[in-house]
Amino acid sequence: MSDTQLRLGIGLVVASILLPSLLGSAYWAHNFLIVNLFVTVAVAQNMLLADAGQVSFGHGAVFGMSAYLVGIISGLWGYDYAIGALAGVGGALALGLLFALPSLRVQGYYLGFVTLSAAVVFPEMLVAFNDITNGINGINRTVPSLTAPLFSGLSWLSFLVMALTVATLAGHAWLRTTSAGRKMRVAAVSPEAAMTLGLDPGRLRFLAFTIAALVTGLAGTLYVPVLGFVSPYAFRVDLSIYFFFCVIVGGQGQLLGPLIGAWILYLVPNALLADLANYRLLGYGIIALLIMLVFPDGVVGSIVSFSRRHRLRARIAGIGIDPVLSWAGIRPSQESGAAITVRGARKQFNSLAALGGVDLTVMAGSVHGLVGPNGSGKTTLLNVVSGFIPLTAGSVQVRDRDTTRMPAFRVARLGVGRTFQTPRVFEQMSIWENLEIGADVHSGNNNWLMEMLEPFRGEWSENNPDLLAHAQRRVLEILRTVASDADILLLDEPAAGLSAIERRDFARLIRFLRDRLGKTVLLVEHDLALVWKVADRITVLDAGRIVAEGPPDAIATDPRVRALFTGSPDA
Amino acid sequence: MDDLLIIAVRGIGLGSIYALVGISFNVVFNASGILNFAQGNMLVLGGLFAFLVLPLAPDVTQWMIFLPLAAVALAALMAVQGGITLLPLRSSVEQHSWLITTLAASVIIGAVLLLYQGAVQQSVHSPFANFSLAGTRVPATYAASVLLALFWYVALRLFHTKLLVGLAISAIAQDMDAARAAGIRVRRLQIGAFAISGLVVGSAGFVAAPMMAIANDSGLAYVMNGFVAAVVGGLGSNLGALVGGALVGVVSMYAAFEYGGEFQNAVSLGLLVGVLMLRPQGLFGRPAARRV
């Protein structure tokens, strides 16, 4: 599907630049150069929004920054166009990174407002610093060496714009196949899951903003030779909103989306209302609103989901536990000693003590059960070990490293994997890609798990996890953690929502992880029967304190534990 | 010294508009989690209402009659906008559709204003005379706008604590699912919250009209500064919006005095980024608990 979109997109870009010139329409040739520059920026915006999950309403300012630096340096100061272009890209990158800065602290609408404000302020600054920018008069700068016609109305500039737009489209498609692209998408959908895979969401956001700014900046440098003129009026907030709406109207996340969106929003008002420039804004607003109400997936997105709905979905990919368990298993070098050591852990939420001084030692190569009633602090403890929640007092060690103050992604890089109560499975990616994210963060070069799963590659690459049953999502999430080569697995209620048979299989899987793969498992679970069946040691928590700790048999007969669970464990 | 006093008085006057926009933000945000990008243009429409209905030299009676009408007119318009905004949220998986629909609403209002009156800025005269405070002359509109901000702060506080409807909206703010389970008609109350927000912003636009730029492209600057006021004070807190509004007003007025009017918005943006980087929960907000 994405290959079709890419080919179609490239075809449209090339045709839109060649045809008007060959047909002798200077008006449309000029307009399509502008449209293709806008398409380029919109593709970057699409990547930023759909792949990296970053809302930016301000990319018109980045575009304008680049164009204006070209205008100032090569127009007012008389330097070479190439030097101006270089400075333009540099300026766009600097502004893009400024946008990225708040994204480290805030997301979503906050970021939208910050970038929108930047887009409001940018043209005001162009006017305010009029001794540098020539103020509202703008700057004239033509680049005859680029715009001189070569043959039938085409110039070097035509081919530069074509190359940039095609490269941006192809680059976006390629980014999605790379490990960096997958990591970016994971961090966008679930920053927590990304961190448990050892990914730093902040760095991935910076990467996305940098790429977007680079592409937008390149487009900005070509804006000057295309128009021959820059003025503050051209880079008002409307332009930023236009770029954002292009993505929405076309269909966010679709490769072809921004191209279609940019065409619709630019050409429809231009063709129908050429003399009524004032109606253009009204057109943007109404089209965007209608698309959101009627086709929330955008034009391309709606076509894609329509054609998908009408395709037979005969192949239902299954991830069975049995084929996994039938593997020989490679037991890696067995560690001994403590894998996780928690000492005197206290966690205070305002006046509530979620953990009131907890000690926990999980031995390497063992399955350690953590049980207790709701609100006893099990998940809090798991979050503390993962590095999601800082302790009020106490310490955490992973093997011999102190991780008390470590951010989650650094803890994960020590080989601590984690699953969640609701499986973090990424719907927009194929099942295979969901596993590959794990392999992406694998430190060694040969990943035996991925090699073993190779026979399933074809089938799993074609199907998205929306076809998977709940139990299979659990297995997928665990397999992903195993693929990342984590040797300590923190499982948060993995059996919740599973049937009796699935639970039995699940118990086998956990034993398999310990016995055949040599993993250490810390298991938080409500199903006491399951815990008693698989755990080597059990810790019982109540109200943030440890009630009992020991091997399953000893715990089962402990009267304090029996009192805690009415209807005592059936172990 | 005199300069600083003038800056403070004008800043607080200007800031009261931002505070009112901030409060009207909070009303919708608390009930639905939506931040309405069109709030700035709604304010401008309130001002336009004043321009259309008030004569060149209005008297106090006329002003008193049309003030509630402006509030009600904008309340009706915002209820419609609220209905449209909430529509796709019913089924769509895209939770951020409101980012787009409210931005689109803002663009549409701006575009209609442009078509209606062109790229001009309308002005409205106040029926009240200027008065003098600590030796400086203060336009009456500043005082009226500050009083209106205080009025809405108190009125909303009473509404949310004394009236059953207000309590129900507060319940939505606390926990939407629980409120729904308790039989509260969430959707209807959310549209109601849009309407109340319209009352606030409509009356604000009417009262502040003499000191506002009633133009097609001024809405975004108001929504931006109102958002900064709300964030500085702590999103969702009306007390925060009051304090934040005054702060943003004074700081941007100082910037205008010191460096020129073009820098007002730039300084607000700096304030916004500064607060988000250092204290994202604002002055009166509480840090949100992390859910993993």
A121 contacts in chain B (CB < 8 Å): 265-266, 269
Give residue B91's pLDDT band: very low, low, confident or very high (50, 70, 90).
very low
Other C-beta atoms closer than 10 Å to the C-beta of A429 total 20
Average pLDDT of every residue of chain B? 88
Q: Which residues of A touch B35 (CB under 8 A)?
A: 109, 113
Q: Does B81 touch chain A (CB under 8 A)?
A: no
Best mutation site among A289, A302, A524 for testing chain B: the one with the most B CBs within 10 Å?
A: A289
Q: Say how far apart CA A494 and CA A489 lie, in whole Å.
A: 11
Residue ranges, CATH 3.40.50.300, chain A: 322-564
Q: How many residues does chain B have?
A: 292
CB within 8 Å of chain A, chain B residues 232-271: 260, 262-263, 265-266, 268-269
Architecture of the domain delimited by B2-278: Orthogonal Bundle (1.10)
Radius of gyration of chain B (CA): 19
A–B interface: beta-carbon pairs under 8 A: 130
What percentage of chain A carries pLDDT values higher than 90? 44
Categorize the per-residue pLDDT at A479 as very low, low, confident or very high, splitting at 50, 70 and 90.
Answer: confident
CB of A384 within 8 A of CB of A540? no
Least Cα separation, residue A481 to chain B (angstroms): 17
For residue A291, what are the CA distances in angstroms to A38, A312, A515, B103?
A: 20, 27, 55, 13
Nearest to A341 by CA among A358, A362, A323: A362
Q: Chain A within 8 Å of B220 (Cβ-Cβ)?
A: yes
CATH class of residue range A2-244: mainly alpha
Establish if B165 touches chain A: CB-CB under 8 angstroms. no
Structure tokens of A471?
């139990």
Nearest chain A Cα distance for residue B127, angstroms:
33
Residue A235: both structure tokens together:
């880079």
For residues B257 and B18, is the Cβ–Cβ distance under 8 A? no
Residues of A within 8 A of B37 (CB-CB) are 116
Q: What is the pLDDT of residues A430-473, one digit of tens each?
A: 888 888 888 887 766 667 778 777 877 887 887 778 778 888 88
Residue A245 to residue B114, Cβ atoms within 8 A = no
CATH architecture of structural domain A322-564: 3-Layer(aba) Sandwich (3.40)
* Mean pLDDT for the stretch of residues A232-236: 91
**CB of A42 closer than 8 Å to CB of A215:** no
Can you tell me the mean pLDDT for A159-182? 95
Contact across the interface for B289 and A349, Cβ inside 8 Å: yes
* pLDDT computed for residue A445 by the predictor: 60
Residue B92 pLDDT = 43
Residue A567: predicted pLDDT = 54
Q: Which residues of A touch B105 (CB under 8 A)?
A: 285, 289
Do B107 and A420 count as a contact with CB atoms less than 8 A apart? no
Q: Model confidence at A570, in pLDDT bands (50, 70, 90)?
A: very low
B95 touches chain A (CB under 8 A): no
pLDDT band at A242 (very low <50, low <70, confident <90, very high): very high
pLDDT at B240 over 80: yes
Rounded to whole angstroms, the Cα distance separating A42 from A49 reads 10
Give the span between the Cα atoms of A210 and A528, in whole angstroms: 49
pLDDT tier, B90 (very low <50, low <70, confident <90, very high otherwise) = low
Residues contacting residue B80 through CB under 8 Å, at least 6 positions apart: none
CA distance A333 to A93: 47
Task: Indicate the burial class of B21 (C-beta count within 10 angstroms; 0-12, 13-18, 19 or more).
Answer: buried
Of all residues in chain A, what percent are helix, strand and coil, respectively (each to 5)? 60, 10, 25
Q: A112–B99: do the CB atoms touch at under 8 Å?
A: yes
Q: Give me the sign of the Cα torsion angle B152, B157, B159, B160.
A: positive
Q: What are the structure tokens assigned to A495, written together? A: 């059996």
In whole angstroms, what is the distance from residue A70 CA to residue A82 CA?
9
- Looking at every residue in chain A, the average pLDDT score rounds to 87
Phi/psi-derived region of residue A399, left when phi > 0, alpha when psi is between -120 and 50, beta in every other case: left
pLDDT band for position A320 (cuts 50, 70, 90): low
What was the pLDDT predicted at A441? Answer: 79
Tell me the C-alpha distance between B121 and A309, whole Å.
51
pLDDT the model gives residue B292: 36
**Cα A395 to Cα A390: distance, rounded to the nearest angstrom:** 10
Q: Note the pLDDT of residue B286.
A: 61
One-letter amino acid of A46 = N
CA distance A191 to A185: 10
Q: Which of B114, B262, B290 is facing A281, going by the closest CB pair? A: B114
Other residues' Cβ atoms within 10 Å of the Cβ of residue B88: 18
Distance CA A566, CA A531 (A): 17
Best A48, A105, A109 residue to mutate vs chain B (most B CBs within 10 Å): A109
Strands (E), B88-127: none
The pLDDT, as a whole number, for residue B176 is 74
Nearest C-alpha neighbor of A473 from the set A419, A533, A524: A419
Nearest Cα of chain A lies from the Cα of B228 at a distance, in angstroms, of 9
**Disruptive mutation site among B32, B100, B268 for chain A (greatest number of A CBs within 10 Å):** B100
Which phi and psi (to 5°) does residue A539 adopt? -115, 130
pLDDT at A331: 59
Best CA proximity match to A513, nearest among A327, A318, A320, A317? A327
Considering only CB atoms, B107 lies closest to which of A102, A281, A297, namely: A281
Q: A4 is written with which tokens?
A: 């079709």
CA distance B204 to B202: 5
Across the interface, do B92 and A192 touch by the CB < 8 Å criterion? Answer: no
Q: Is the pLDDT of residue B289 over 50?
A: no
Alpha-carbon distances of B202 from A420, A492, B52, B53, B197, rounded to whole Å: 46, 50, 14, 14, 8
Q: Which residue in A has a C-alpha nearest to residue B264's C-alpha?
A: A121
pLDDT at residue A118, as a whole number:
93
Pick the range with the lowest mean pLDDT from A307-321, B57-71, B129-143, B273-287: A307-321
Query: Which pair of tokens denotes residue A206?
Result: 């910076």
Average pLDDT over residues A541-558: 87
At A53, the amino acid letter reads: G
Amino acid letter, residue A436: E
pLDDT tens sequence across B216-227: 989 999 999 999
Q: Is the CB of B281 inside 8 Å of chain A's CB atoms?
A: no
Calculate Rg over the CA atoms of chain A.
28
Top mean pLDDT of A139-143, A275-279, B67-71, B267-271 is at B67-71
Chain B residues with CB inside 8 Å of A286's CB?
104, 108
Q: What is the pLDDT of residue B191?
A: 93
Which one of A56, A104, A245, A292 would you mutate to disrupt binding with B, by most B Cβ within 10 Å of its Cβ?
A292
Distance CA B225, CA B252 (A): 10
Q: What is the mean pLDDT of residues A82-108?
A: 91
pLDDT at position A453 is 79
Please check the confidence at residue A405 and state whether its pLDDT lies above 50.
Answer: yes
CB A360 within 8 A of CB A381: yes
Question: CA-CA-CA-CA torsion for A433, A435, A440, A446, nearest 10 degrees?
Answer: -120
Does residue B108 sit at the A interface (CB-CB below 8 Å)?
Answer: yes
Cβ <8 Å between B266 and A105 = no
Residues 4-63 of B with CB under 8 A from A: 35, 37
pLDDT grade for B251, boundaries at 50, 70 and 90: very high
Enter the tokens of residue A560: 């304090």
Over 50: is that where the pLDDT of B257 sits? yes
Higher pLDDT, A171 or A425: A171
Residue of B nearest to A288 (CA): B104
Let me know if A24 is exposed, middle or buried by CB neighbors in 10 A (0-12, 13-18, 19+): exposed
Contact in structure between B232 and B247 (CB atoms under 8 Å) = yes
Other beta carbons within 10 angstroms of residue A489's beta carbon come to 24
Half-sphere exposure of A240 (CA within 13 A, CB side): 27
* Structural domain spans, chain B: 2-278
Percent of chain A clearing pLDDT 70 (strictly above)? 92
Q: Cβ of B220 and A120 within 8 Å? A: yes
Q: Tell me whether B290 touches chain A (CB under 8 Å).
A: yes
**pLDDT, mean of residues A270-283:** 71
> Helices B264-278 & B238-259, crossing angle to 10 degrees?
130
B-chain residues within 8 Å CB-CB of A424? none
Locate CATH 1.10.3470 in chain A. Answer: 2-244
Q: Compute CA A365 distance to the chain's CA centroid, rounded to the nearest angstrom.
A: 33
Residue A283 — pLDDT band, cuts 50, 70, 90?
confident
A349 φ, ψ to 5°? -105, 100
Estimate the crossing angle of helix A237-250 against helix A59-70, to 10 degrees.
Answer: 130
B276 contacts chain A (CB < 8 A): yes
The confidence band for A66, taking pLDDT boundaries of 50, 70 and 90, is very high
What ipTM was assigned to the predicted interfaces of this complex?
A: 0.90
Q: How many CA within 13 A on the CB side of residue A271?
A: 8
CB count within 10 Å of CB B201 equals 37
User: How far apart are alpha carbons B228 and B243 in whole angstroms?
Assistant: 11
Helix (H, G, I), strand (E, B) or coil at A359: strand
Sorting pLDDT into bands at 50, 70 and 90, what band is B291? very low
| Furthest CA-CA distance within chain B | 60
